[in-house]
Copies of this chain bind each other. A is one copy, B any other.
Amino acid sequence: MRDVAVIGVGMNKWGEIWEAAIRDLLAESVLLALDDAGIDSVEAMYIGCMSSGLFTHQEHLGSMGPDYAGICPTPGTRVESACASGGAAIRAGYMHVASGLADIVMVAGVEKMTDVDGGGATFALATAADQEYEVYNGVTFPGLYAMMANHHMNKYGTTRDQMAQVAVKNHLNGSKNPLAQFRMKVTLDQVKNSVMVSDPLTLLDCSPITDGSAAVVLCSMDKAKELSKKRLVKIIGSGHASDTIQLSQREDISYLKSTELAAKQALKMAGRKIADIDFAEVHDCFTIAEIMVIEALGIAEVGKGGKATTDGITAFDGKFPVNTSGGLKSKGHPVGATGVAQIVELTRQIRGDVEKDRQLKKANIGLAQNMGGSGGSSVVHILEGM
């Protein structure tokens, strides 16, 4: 397998964007990433997108993506794994370059979620859960994560304040990120007193509905050394695992087995331990999710993710900063774009080119964890500066 580097990144300002269609959103980040890489063409394009069919009635982004980015007849392929679509697209692009079939591949992610009919965004998102055994019985994602939260609280004594602290931390980080959707800081009381969505999760425990895109250019290392004038960022690990799609089929609904397995694969490939990693972007679709993810990754002991959060371990100035971008909570969660935007953030932090007030002092090796559904799939990548 050939070594693969990230040589370009791009991301638009996320939010509720009424003036742009999905094709416009996608093209914007693709053009930014091409510009950042200093190139004007690629050999192939992958597009992470969860459900452009349900959200916008537009499938076949594998044709539309290259077309509207002005790089036809470059082949395009859409990759979907619910909210892990972006991570899965990164992995597909990585393999394309690693195999030797191409030197330069674009990986974009996009979702246009706010202009939706046919049941709305919560219905469309719920298609990532088991329709016949979960959704038809009335549960959508806030309900599924609320069950996981209640189980975690009962089993480990995780508290309401610990969950709320995830939101406080990520909004603080996101308040410094000019591309984030919700840049306001929030307090513990504001999180706890916001409107109840699914007990114990309130509105500010939930990631928002977002329009947005992100893109990265992957390149074989040899070619990257020729082409790039920026610090090269190498993909040193990639992992991917599944779990049962239904919560009810799992041994323990308060543990994310697919995340553990994907991380183990990626760390093994990288020849590292979790303690060697400087920082991470993780899938905080709900506050409880970040707590469970940092446990599955080994950043915190199992059952102590909440305490690690209130202890400040995962804060911007903590021992293991998590979600410096603001995470899904504050930056927003256009589902197909999220996993790609995580790679954008890791690359920028490693290169040292994020805004000064949110630049980590030590950011040489970063990890991205992207998750589908209630953990039915997880993708983990590890990036290192060269």
Instruction: Give Cα distance in the complex from A244 to B65, angstroms.
Output: 9
Set of chain B residues within 8 Å of A246, measured between Cβ atoms: 67
Instruction: Give Cα distance in the complex from A51 to B130, angstroms.
Output: 16
A230 at the interface (CB under 8 A from B): no
Partner of A54, one of B53, B64, B238: B53
A66:B99 contact, CB within 8 angstroms: no
Set of chain B residues within 8 Å of A53, measured between Cβ atoms: 51, 53-54, 124, 127
* Interface hits, A123-159 → B, CB 8 Å: 124, 127-132, 135
Instruction: Give Cα distance in the complex from A306 to B240, angstroms.
Output: 47
B80:A59 contact, CB within 8 angstroms: yes
**Quick check: which of A182-190, A200-208, A353-361, A372-380 contacts chain B, the rest being far away?**
A372-380
A243 at the interface (CB under 8 A from B): yes
A50 at the interface (CB under 8 A from B): yes
A75:B241 contact, CB within 8 angstroms: yes
Set of chain B residues within 8 Å of A128, measured between Cβ atoms: 59-60
Partner of A95, one of B79, B99, B131, B132: B99
Partner of A241, one of B73, B82, B245, B379: B73
Q: How many copies does the complex hold?
A: 2
Set of chain B residues within 8 Å of A240, measured between Cβ atoms: 44, 75, 77
Closest to A246 in B: B67
Partner of A60, one of B99, B118, B132, B245: B245
A72 at the interface (CB under 8 A from B): yes
Closest to A123 in B: B57
A86 at the interface (CB under 8 A from B): no
Smallest CB–CB gap between A352 and chain B, Å?
30
Set of chain B residues within 8 Å of A21, measured between Cβ atoms: 132
A298 at the interface (CB under 8 A from B): no
Interface string of A106-133 (1 = CB under 8 A from B): 0000000000001000001001111110
Closest to A269 in B: B101
Instruction: Give Cα distance in the complex from A44 to B128, angstroms.
Output: 20
A127:B80 contact, CB within 8 angstroms: no
Partner of A131, one of B50, B57, B100, B124: B57
**A interface, how many residues as a size bin?**
35 or more
A242 at the interface (CB under 8 A from B): yes
Instruction: Give Cα distance in the complex from A131 to B84, angstroms.
Output: 25
A257:B73 contact, CB within 8 angstroms: yes
A63:B376 contact, CB within 8 angstroms: yes
A261 at the interface (CB under 8 A from B): yes
Smallest CB–CB gap between A261 and chain B, Å?
5
Check A242/B72 contact, CB under 8 A, given A62-B82, A77-B79: yes
Interface string of A65-106 (1 = CB under 8 A from B): 011000011111111111010001001100110111100000
Contacts A63-B377, A73-B257, A98-B100 given; 7 further ones with Cβ under 8 A?
A57-B127, A57-B131, A58-B127, A62-B84, A63-B373, A73-B242, A77-B240
- Between A and B, 15 residue pairs with Cβ closer than 8 Å are A57-B131, A59-B127, A59-B128, A60-B245, A63-B244, A64-B376, A67-B249, A73-B241, A74-B241, A75-B241, A75-B262, A75-B377, A77-B80, A77-B81, A99-B100
Residues of A within 8 A of B (CB): 1, 21, 44, 50-54, 56-64, 66-67, 72-82, 84, 88, 91-92, 95-96, 98-101, 118, 124, 127-132, 135, 238, 240-246, 249, 257-258, 261-262, 372-373, 376-377, 379
